[in-house]
Amino acid sequence: MELLMQYIVTGLTVGSIYALLAIGFVTVYNITGILNFAQGEFAMIGALTCITFVNAGLPMYASIIFAILISATIGLIVERTAILHARNTSVIILIIITIGVSTFLKGMGLIIWGTNPKQLTPLIKMEPIHFMGAVINPQSIFIFIVLLILLAVLYVFFEKTYIGSALRACEKNPRAAKLMGINPSTMSALAFTLAAALGAIAGILITPITDATYEMGFLIGVKGFVGMVIGGMHSIPGAVAGALLVGLLETFSGGFISTFYSDAITFLVLILVLFFKPNGIFARASGERV
Amino acid sequence: MKKLCKSICSFSLMLILVIALSACNMETSGGNDKKDGDGGKEVIKIGAIFAETGPASTLGKTQANYVKLIQKQLDEAGTINGKKIEIIMQDYETDDTKAVIAADKLISEGVVAVVGATQASTSMAILPKISGEGIPLMTVAPVNPEAKDIYQMAPSNLTNASLIIKFLKENNISKVAWINARDGFGVEGLPSFEKVAKENDIKIVAHEEFDATATDMTVQLTNIRKKNPEAVIVWSRTPGAGIVARNFKALGFDIPMIQSSASANKGFLDQVKDNNENIYVIGSKLSVVDQLPNGEQKDRLKKFREDYRTMFNSDPDNFTAHAADGFHLLIEAIKAGNTTSEDIHNYLKTEVNKYSGLTGSFELQSDYVGPYEDGFSVLGIENNEWKYYE
């Protein structure tokens, strides 16, 4: 029982980290149709700039806001310089561009911050919590709360506001959106800015648990992406559920089978999902597929 | 219009490339001129291949710095037997391919010996080229002990393993758990440890793996706890190494955790801040110079640190010491009158008996790979600083 509890807690902790990344993936994908593989690097930039500000003596909250703003600006610059000019080429080229951007940002991170892991004190400093024999890191509860808030805010933004609907319209049918007076190019810029800001929030939140290095973005980015594919590419709640599932899969396979195979098992599940439910297990059937 | 734009773009890109390339050439040919115009003195060249830039620069940067330091010391000391020693440094940017090109370049420059490379994989990549020319290679990384014609300045995994065994025996521990990162460094440690542990009746009751950049190792540690070990040994670089230590504390383990030499750095100390009792790391005595008992070794390490501090305003580390030992051994060989690659090979293979280096003492003619364990110790942490136990 204790073991089971510990695996669930750890799985949800790890899964919520992936979920934060998955949200950013879905946001860009929903609006532009691009898989943004630089999402993990936005998390890295957010985390490391925040640490830089804190070390420079700025108060915590100000550092967090500045770090999010700077990351969002970098997201905007990336879109305006790397994505905009290739806007009319095929999606696969755009995806490859984001891989290039990811490598570039990682390289810059290495040059600016070096290889040593950097620490960030959590907003709420507490001892680990013991609950039914399992140990819970207080920061992971905090991550969970923020995750729920983000879900609610993004739901309202995309479903209830004019600009949110405009953003969604761009992905559903760019041509029709254009005819309705929506500029897909502006919306794409907005999508990347938003995704970079979400990435930065993710990076800042997870750093108290994992520490920040220039290479932190890759693994969590890939896992977040897997979560998104398993949960459904189009829905933010689906992607979050998928990411949590990936976290649980990892810990349960690591705990009950072997940590040597936990990654292999996660990817096996991914392949099975792609075989049997290519739209993701949480996707509702829609009339769009031909 | 678009096509024109594209061709202008690609043309200017080409132009920049050409200019950059010619600038590189100019730099090297400029260097050559200086050497030739050195008053007709005979020059002996030693090559150095270090990762001054790129991800491995954490290790390679201070090694590259050391080249400047030792060149200055050599210039100040004047000539050796009427000959001037010149070190040609090549940065391989943490890229094995670039290292092989650098090796070619050094060979064409006519170096008598090479010190490098920073990483084990790179050392193995340049070894065939360099040993093919009969040039001695002093590697600063722990390479495959089977490799021939290579002199290892870094401690081997076997040396590290015997240090841990010594620590375990002193603390009456006979059951240990092993956990390592799933990368080149992480998976290399266990085979050597298994061998030494078997000889010393120490049981490895659990073995777990994790990704060096993973976010949480609680599951692995929970699995380990089920087996009731008396100590946990971690073989990983940072950040994984620090996160394991943190999870270990959160789960409330009260047994010692012993970490590899990859954790013997400031980055790890910062990671485990305030959570570091019962954590031990295999570290170089260089990082605890001031706590060492007075003696020759302390003086030697202290002088090395002071020399480096004066020039670069920062501290050298273990990896700097490996590079320094490589250069010192070669300079010893040249001082003894060996000026060709073949003579240096012979000298290193037959004459180096108990050479006291910065990393530890070397006995190159024996089968023992790398320095002996006397330059290392299992260090504890006290007030967020390394603590030396005698």
Distance of alpha carbon A177 from alpha carbon A180, whole angstroms: 5
Average pLDDT of the segment spanning B308-317 = 92
Distance of alpha carbon B262 from alpha carbon B249, whole angstroms: 20
Average pLDDT of the segment spanning B142-160 = 86
Residue A87, helix vs strand vs coil: coil
Distance of alpha carbon A190 from alpha carbon A185, whole angstroms: 9
**Could you tell me the domains of chain B?**
42-155+290-374 (3.40.50.2300), 157-289+376-387 (3.40.50.2300)
A249: tokens are: 């899969």
**For residue B66, what is the DSSP state?**
H
pLDDT confidence tier of residue B29, bands split at 50, 70 and 90? very low
B67: tokens are: 């080249």
Highest mean pLDDT: which range of A39-43, A89-93, B272-276, B382-386: A39-43
Contacts of A254 in chain B (CB under 8 A): 219-220, 223
pLDDT at A284: 65
Residue B21 has pLDDT above 60, yes or no: no
**Could you tell me the domains of chain A?**
2-276 (1.10.3470)
Q: What are phi and psi of B180, to 5 degrees?
A: -135, 160
pLDDT at A289: 47
Q: What's the Rg (C-alpha) of chain A? A: 19
Asked if B275 reaches chain A (Cβ–Cβ under 8 Å), the answer is no
Chain A: closest CA distance from residue B62 (Å) = 14
Higher-confidence residue: B10 or A265? Answer: A265
pLDDT at B20: 54
Task: Among B53, B210, B213, pick the best mutation site for testing chain A contact (most A Cβ within 10 A).
Answer: B213
Least confident of A220-229, A247-256, B32-41: B32-41
Chain A: closest CA distance from residue B267 (Å) = 5
Of A7, A213, A215, the CB nearest to B219: A7
Asked if B208 reaches chain A (Cβ–Cβ under 8 Å), the answer is yes
pLDDT at B273: 85
Residue A163 has pLDDT above 80, yes or no: yes
Asked if A92 reaches chain B (Cβ–Cβ under 8 Å), the answer is no
Least confident of A41-50, A111-120, B11-20: B11-20
What digits encode the pLDDT tens for the residues A38-63?
999 999 999 999 999 999 999 999 99
Residue A61, helix vs strand vs coil: helix
pLDDT at B33: 41
Distance of alpha carbon B211 from alpha carbon A210, whole angstroms: 12
- Helix (H) or strand (E) segment spanning residue B33: helix B2-36
pLDDT confidence tier of residue B27, bands split at 50, 70 and 90? very low
pLDDT at B16: 58
Average pLDDT of the segment spanning B71-77 = 92
Contacts of A137 in chain B (CB under 8 A): 250
Look up tokens 């879900």; give the residue: A151
Answer for the pair A67, A199: CB distance below 8 angstroms, yes or no.
Answer: no
A233-267 CB burial, b ≥16 within 10 A, e <16: bbbbbbbbbbbbbbbbbbbbbbbeeebeebbebbe
Closest C-alpha among B333, B293, B301 to residue B318: B301
Distance of alpha carbon A242 from alpha carbon B228, whole angstroms: 35
What digits encode the pLDDT tens for the residues B241-255?
999 999 999 898 999
A282: tokens are: 């949480």
Average pLDDT of the segment spanning A109-129 = 87
Q: What is the rounded average pLDDT for all residues in chain A?
A: 90
pLDDT confidence tier of residue B56, bands split at 50, 70 and 90? confident
**Which residues lie closer than 8 Å to B161 by C-beta, 6 or more apart?**
B189, B192, B193, B195, B196, B197
pLDDT at B11: 54
Residue A114 Rama label (left phi>0; alpha psi -120 to 50; beta):
left
pLDDT at B186: 87
Interior CA angle at A194 toward A192 and A195, to 5°?
65
Residue B191 has pLDDT above 50, yes or no: yes
Asked if A7 reaches chain B (Cβ–Cβ under 8 Å), the answer is yes
Q: What's the Rg (C-alpha) of chain B? A: 23
Strand order in the sheet with B137-139: B83-91, B42-50, B113-116, B137-139, B150-152
Chain A: closest CA distance from residue B268 (Å) = 8
Q: What is the rounded average pLDDT for all residues in chain B?
A: 86
Answer for the pair B159, B372: CB distance below 8 angstroms, yes or no.
Answer: yes
Task: Among B2, B218, B224, B315, pick the best mutation site for testing chain A contact (most A Cβ within 10 A).
Answer: B218
B100: tokens are: 């092989």
Higher-confidence residue: A93 or A115? Answer: A93
Average pLDDT of the segment spanning B1-25 = 54
Average pLDDT of the segment spanning B110-124 = 91
pLDDT at B3: 56
What digits encode the pLDDT tens for the residues B83-111?
899 999 999 998 999 999 999 999 999 99
pLDDT at B44: 93
pLDDT confidence tier of residue B210, bands split at 50, 70 and 90? very high
pLDDT at A290: 45
pLDDT confidence tier of residue A287, bands split at 50, 70 and 90? low
Residue B383 has pLDDT above 80, yes or no: yes
Please report, for residues A172, A211, B14, the alpha-carbon distance to residue B19 in angstroms, rounded to integers and kept in the order given.
47, 41, 9
